[in-house]
A = this chain, B = another copy of it.
Amino acid sequence: MNEQENKLKHTETSKSLPIAMLRAREAIMLSFRPVLAKHGFTEQQWRVLRVLGEKGPSDAGQVAFDACILAPSLSRILGKLEKDKYISRFIDANDGRRINLSLTTLGEEVLEKIVPETGIIYNSLQKSYGEEKLRVLLELLGEISQWKGR
């Protein structure tokens, strides 16, 4: 590969990491979204429910980080999830700025109902793609996530 080609490499969309991640993610979400939609949830709402189910009650900042959702988006999502009674939010006793969140019984119920359905899809992916490859991919993505930029 000559100098010119190397300089332009990252401009090729097929070799652009952000676009590659977007494409790959989209291929997967194409299967997941209909399942969530059937139950009336968006992927973001679903991430919030899963995070709360996995780590138990947390404050909004923690959920925002875990679900990879920015604070302004989370605020609106929480408003809807609370209105629909999937979660409850209350001010922290020790820090009046902090909002604690937890699943309601209804929230736990839908979580347990939907998880098996998404599990079927994920298992199918794992089967056709390979468990080891999947492990490597998660590892590599995890390292990218650590990048502090420049």
A-side residues, CB < 8 A to B, are 7-8, 10-13, 15-32, 43, 47, 50-51, 53-54, 66-68, 115, 118-126, 128-129, 133-134, 136-138, 140-147, 149-150
Contact = CB atoms under 8 A, between A and B. Distances in A.
Copies in the complex: 2
Nearest to A134: B17
B147 A125 contact: yes
A17 B146 CA distance: 16
Contacts of A12: 54
A115 B11 contact: yes
Contacts of A120: 150
Given A23-B141, A137-B144, A141-B21, A47 B13 contact: yes
